[in-house]
Structure 1
Amino acid sequence: MAALRTGVAGVVGLAARMGRLSVSVSSQVTQPSLHTSFVTAFSHFRLTPWYASLHTSSSHRGLMEFFDNEKNWGETEVKVGRSWRIEELRIKSNEDLHKLWFVLLKEKNMLLTMEHACEEEYQLFPNPERIDKVEESMKNLEDVVKERNRAYWLLETGEDGEHHGEIGTDSLGRRRFIRYREHTVPYWSTGRPWRSRETPSITKFSRLMREKKFLEKRRALRRIRDHVCMLLRRYPHMDLDVLQKKYPEVNVKALRQQKRSLGHHVHNIA
């Protein structure tokens, strides 16, 4: 009994020092019976919470948010509406669009989860076009946001403010326009070493590619030059200015003086 009384007094002192709980001991606790356990004695305390520092939110169902309503389980058809049109989204505020985006994202995650669950259980996924409707709504919403951003940047800076891409080097060492894409993390944060494109195989491939393009360009120029010479042989009275405007890759007046432009007639000038 003395040990129980000592333990109760220690709990009361600890709660008083914490300042978060006000403890009042009833008269029955001062002289507990011999058969009173610690749980029974502790039940005599009246704990008053400190409401000023207590904040709670609404309850959630956890992982069940990733699944459809139970009344739709096993159904062959689920009644759904149409997708959001871009005209309807244009009249909404930015805050409403922000909320609607996460509602659609949550709905898409739920539909993909249900589709995977149906495939695992060899069941028919009802109304698979729901995923297409959600994706169409998300695309329309993203187009509306891009329209507003483009209008804002054009008004403020005179540019659209969109970063489409840049001229860079691909994995084969070729210079081309590379469009920007979304990535989870940048390449320098992945922990994997960045592979350099200045390898002997890439250098050889780039040299052969440049040689191939040069030969193709030279053959195309030769075909144009031969075609112009053929026109000058057959039609010696052609307007050289019009011919030069149509084929700016070659010098028509210089080709007119060459031997290959001579025809079997008396109108040759060479």
Structure 2
Amino acid sequence: MNSRRKQIIKVGIIVLIVVLLGMMLTHCTNTAETKSVKLDKTVEESMKKVNAKKTGKNKSIDVDKSSSQEEKKEETAKTDSSNKSNTSESKKDNTTSTTNTSLNKNNTSSSKPSNSSSNNSNSSKPSNNSGSNSSSSKPAEHKHDWVAQYKTVNIPEKGHNEQVLVQAAYDEQVPITEMKAYSICNQCGVDITGFAVAHNDQHLSNYEPGGYHTEWRETVTGYNTVHHDAVYETRYVVDSPATTKQELTGYKCSGCGKTRSN
């Protein structure tokens, strides 16, 4: 009877502890929710302030841009007008210079004396057309325009084989097992090997059925160390990939097609 009272008292204490823990958990969750709500409100207010500042800055930037564009338009209009005036002045200067040159030509032509006698003497001289014809009949000398000629050379891939570690060496502990007999309680299923009688008496004192049975189980009695060597495999490693290059073979004239070596 005393043991049953003790069990009842233990159960009551456990129930009280569970109730207290539940109350504490609910209190903690409520406080956490209130804190999170306050944090959300503060974050929203700060975001509103930042957005308001950004809109103010954007407005000021737009005003500055419009004013700078108007100033640029005025400057371009001024430069266009100055260029037009310069071109008109240059045209006027050109017209005056052409009139002056024409007047000078007329004056020089009127001031020259007539050389009729010299013209008659020149007309009496024999003409040497044969020499001029022989010089004009010579062909013009050809100059070679040499253009470099190339051919494409394939360079094969270069590499080598090397041993790559796949698995490092290690030692494995292999367990040594053996079948052994164990005494198992029929009431609670506990291993009572070596104290089966005392454990059985405890159940009988609590008005519980006793008894036990024997089970054969595989138990580890030791370990064997097994060494495993490292594992390697051969892999091909590329030192330089396959490429192509342009090799000079000679030169060719673009006009006559003549070729020459390097």
TM-score of the superposition, structure 2-length normalised? 0.16
Q: What TM-score results when the alignment is normalised by the length of structure 1? A: 0.15
Q: Which has the larger radius of gyration?
A: 2
- Greater strand share, structure number: 2
